[in-house]
Amino acid sequence: MARAPLFHASREAPQAIGPSKAKVDWDGLRQRMQGPLLRPGDPGFEDARKLFNPLNDDHIPAAVAQCESAEDVRQGVLAAANRVPLAARSGGHSYVGYSAPRGGLVLDLRRMATVSVQADGTAAVGAGASLRDVYSGLGRANRCLPGGSCFTVGISGVALGGGIGVLQRKFGLTCDHLVEAEVITADGRTLMASATRTPDLFWALRGGGGGNFGVVTRFTFTTDPAPPLTVFVLGFPAGKVPVTEVMTAWQPWIAGAPRELWANLNVSGGSDPSCRVAGCFVGPRSACTPLLDSLVARADVQPNRRTVEARDYFDAMRFFSGRPDRESFVASSRVLTAPTADPGGVVALLAGHSGMSLILDALGGAVADVDVQQTAFPHRTAFATAQIYATATAASEAEVTRSVGQVVKGLADLGFSGGYVNYIDPDLPDWGRSYYGPNLERLRSVAHDYDPDRVFDFAQSLSRA
Ligand SMILES: Cc1cc2nc3c(=O)[nH]c(=O)nc-3n(C[C@H](O)[C@H](O)[C@H](O)COP(=O)(O)OP(=O)(O)OC[C@H]3O[C@@H](n4cnc5c(N)ncnc54)[C@H](O)[C@@H]3O)c2cc1C
């Protein structure tokens, strides 16, 4: 049974943290660091502190440490631990701003973004690398790693929360490729986490969520030879009936598809909901086309837009990347353990919500090859993740948050449960159990072992789950 959270994490509340025991010696830290330490008023501070979602612009840290090395990270941890809130920042896409603690120290890793492919096919990736850095570095070496879709997202957040993406049914989650991570712990130790060294930490880093356990400074991932890919988008006419028909067809189609095929279903809310199916096929266009035809035949709704293109790995990843511009949004998630029996009920939830999308990303295939408790990511046997994503402004944030909450509740009433930690939402009522399922207790214990004083505490850290 789902356990009620000890604390309700509020979107508006400042991040609570233990009492400040001593002041941080900012000048001393600045001298000890190789990279710059920026404080309010310093040139570059405003740009450095801002995250992807402008709704978090009111998160003003006391300092941003632009770390050049693991040693800079270690110096930052030692200087700020138990004094002010402390968080790593990689791509800065935390939905609610957990990588920019108010009044705290941001350990900005973006200068540590090297991607190098070794002779054995493993890739060493600096923890500040963006997905663009990863895909371009691997693409040049004709290798691939499954990962998320937006180029500006950080590899750190993606990998630590699991890492869902267009290649997951064939190659698994990003975290399934992790073989080693270098971690700076709350007490300033440098640990290597792998199957043989600190295996409990290694287990937790694969799905336990960013911001817990310590700061990862470098990842090593296994990679695969980059295959030829086919990308596609089918857009369908608006209206509750066709969208329901497409969802009704999409579910068994993707559940029964070969693992080379991945697709999502993106329903746009509004007075007349519309939808599109986008995806990626590992293989040539000629083998993908009949699979798409079979979806159209099942749905019995002709798409009014059909794009199918052969691409190499990097260009395929670029196809799915949104614009790099910052965007104000409110989002949450649920997980479908199995296809829904009521597609019409799901579509109806979006009626009237313009600016809101429901994005169902199919799981299955290689994701399900790993046992639920083999890594910290728990949604191994589920059918799909469901993201509720709504654009908002500072003025509309409260109202949009309420609307997103209504849809989340509506989905729960239709049997959707769970949630994806990378779509982190302080208003998800049962977030701890939702994100971690049966892995929650072990994760709490690992977090306590590596950060007993809750140095990395934040509103949805594991110690509060
Ligand atoms: C436009 C957009 C597209 C997205 N697409 C996908 C997708 O396709 N697939 C997917 O799985 N997710 C996706 N996400 C969600 C994304 O994975 C999460 O938001 C993730 O947490 C972002 O990581 P980041 O490094 O960019 O963010 P940050 O804000 O830098 O970090 C997120 C959290 O991780 C912590 N953290 C960061 N770096 C480290 C580190 N090195 N060590 C320890 N903790 C760290 C931070 O303190 C913070 O709590 C998307 C998000 C957005 C906004």
Summarised one tens digit per residue, pLDDT across range 395-446 is 999 999 999 999 999 999 999 999 999 999 999 999 999 999 999 999 999 9
Q: pLDDT tens digit string along 284-335? A: 999 999 999 999 999 999 999 999 999 999 999 999 998 889 999 999 999 9
The first and second tokens of residue 414, run together, are 């239709």
**Domain CATH code at residue 369:** 3.40.462.20
Which residue's alpha carbon is at the smallest distance from atom 15 of ligand 1? 422
How many domains does the structure of the chain reveal? 2
Are 419 and 432 a contacting pair, CB within 8 Å?
no
pLDDT at 1 > cutoff 80: no
58 occurs within a structural domain: no
Which atom in ligand 1 lies closest to the alpha carbon of residue 422?
A: 18
Q: Is the CB of 97 under 6 A from ligand 1?
A: no
Q: Evaluate whether 389 touches 359 at the Cβ level (below 8 Å).
A: yes
Sign of CA dihedral 125, 129, 135, 136: negative
Domain assignment present for residue 156? The answer is yes
Q: How sure is the predictor about 21, in pLDDT bands with cuts at 50, 70 and 90?
A: low
Q: Tell me, yes or no, whether 252 and 181 share the same domain.
A: no
Q: 422 and 310, same structural domain?
A: yes
Q: Which helix (H) or strand (E) holds 215?
A: strand 215-221
Q: Is 231 in the pocket of ligand 1 (CB under 6 A)?
A: no
pLDDT value for 20: 55
Q: Could you tell me if the CB of 92 is within 6 A of ligand 1?
A: yes
What is the DSSP annotation of 9-68?
Answer: --SSSPPP-SPP-S---HHHHHHH-SS-EE-TTSTTHHHHH--SSGGGTT---SEEEE-S
* DSSP reduced 3-state for 274: strand
Examine residue 72 and state whether it is found in any structural domain, yes or no.
Answer: no
Ligand 1 midpoint to CA 95 (Å): 8
Q: Which of ligand 1's atoms lies nearest the C-alpha of 51?
A: 29
pLDDT tens digits, one per residue of 365-375 = 999 999 999 99
Largest CA distance in the chain: 68
DSSP for 133-176? HHHHHHHHTTEE----S-TTSBHHHHHHH----TTHHHH--GGG
Q: Is 59 in the pocket of ligand 1 (CB under 6 A)?
A: no
Beta carbon of 209 within 6 Å of any ligand 1 atom: no
* Dist. CA 149–CA 126, nearest whole Å: 19
Q: Whose C-alpha lies nearest to ligand 1, atom 20? A: 157
Query: Region 145-159: what's the mean pLDDT?
Result: 97
**Residue 423 Cα to ligand 1 middle (Å):** 9
For 343, half-sphere exposure in the C-beta direction (CA atoms, 13 angstrom radius) is 21
Residues 367, 254 share a domain: yes
- Any ligand 1 atom below 6 A from CB of 91: yes
Residues 124 and 233 in one domain: no
Residue 89 Cα, ligand 1 centroid: separation in angstroms? Answer: 9
pLDDT at 324: 83
CA-CA distance, 100 to 63, in Å (whole number)?
10
Q: Whose CA is nearest to atom 21 of ligand 1?
A: 157
Mean pLDDT, residues 29-48: 98
Whether 124 and 181 map to the same domain: the answer is yes
Q: Which atom of ligand 1 lies at the shortest distance from residue 52's CA? A: 53
CA of 21 to the centre of ligand 1 (A): 30
Counting from 1 in the atom list of ligand 1, the atom nearest the Cα of 150 is 3
**pLDDT surpasses 60 at 18:** no
The predicted-structure confidence for 124-133, as pLDDT tens digits, reads as follows 999 999 999 9
89 in contact with ligand 1, CB cutoff 6 A = yes
Q: In the chain, what percentage of residues exceed pLDDT 70?
A: 95
How confident is the model over 146-166, as a mean pLDDT? 97
The verdict on residue 366 lying in a domain is: yes
pLDDT, residue 22, reads 80
Are residues 193 and 244 located together in one domain of the fold? no
Q: Give yes or no for residue 163 CB within 6 A of ligand 1.
A: yes
Mutate to test the pocket of ligand 1, among 57, 69, 99 (most ligand atoms within 8 A of CB): 99
Q: Residue 74 has which token pair?
A: 């270690």
Residue 13 has a pLDDT of 43
The alpha carbon of 290 is separated from its chain's Cα centroid by a whole number of angstroms, namely 32
Share the mean pLDDT of the chain: 95
Statement: residue 8 has pLDDT above 50: no
Atom 36 of ligand 1 has which residue's CA nearest to it?
210
Q: Judge whether 30 lies within some domain.
A: no
Residues 363 and 244 reside in one and the same domain: yes
Question: Residue with the nearest Cα to atom 8 of ligand 1?
Answer: 148
| Pair 199, 347 in one domain | no
Tell me which of 56, 69, 133, 158 to substitute to probe ligand 1's pocket, judged by most ligand atoms within 8 Å of the beta carbon: 158
CATH number for 161: 3.30.465.10
Q: Does 52 reside within a domain?
A: no
316/244 same-domain check: yes
Of 153, 164, 217, 456, the residue with max ligand 1 atoms within 8 A of its CB, to mutate for a pocket test, comes to 153
**Is the Cβ atom of 156 under 6 angstroms away from ligand 1?**
yes
Specify the pLDDT at position 323: 80
The residue that leads in pLDDT, 13 or 157, is 157
The 3-class secondary structure across 363-382, one letter per residue, is CCHHHHHCCCCCCCCCCCCC
Residue 53 belongs to some domain of the structure? no
Task: Judge if 205 and 238 occupy the same domain.
Answer: no
Question: Which residue has the least CA distance to atom 3 on ligand 1?
Answer: 150
The domain of 188 spans 115-225+458-464
Q: What is the pLDDT confidence band of residue 143, given thresholds at 50, 70 and 90?
A: very high
Judge if 358 and 387 occupy the same domain. Answer: yes
User: What pLDDT, in 10s, does the model give residues 354-390?
Assistant: 999 999 999 999 999 999 999 999 999 999 999 999 9
Residues 94-125 pLDDT 10s: 999 999 999 999 999 999 999 999 999 999 99
Give residue 254 CA to ligand 1 midpoint distance, Å: 27
Cα(148) to centroid(ligand 1), Å: 10
Residue 312: inside a domain, yes or no?
A: yes
How many other β-carbons are positioned within 10 Å of the β-carbon of residue 252? 12
Q: pLDDT over 90 for what percent of the chain?
A: 94
Residue 77, pLDDT score: 98
First to last CA, the chain: 14
Taking CA atoms only, the protein residue closest to ligand 1 atom 26 is: 91
pLDDT at 17: 47
Tens-digit pLDDT profile for residues 210-257: 999 999 999 999 999 999 999 999 999 999 999 999 999 999 999 999
Q: For tokens 């402004």, what's the residue?
A: 393
Euclidean distance between CA atoms 278 and 286, whole angstroms: 17
Which pLDDT value is given to residue 4? Answer: 31
Give the HSE-up count for residue 106: Cα atoms under 13 Å, Cβ half-sphere. 34
Residues 124, 170 share a domain = yes
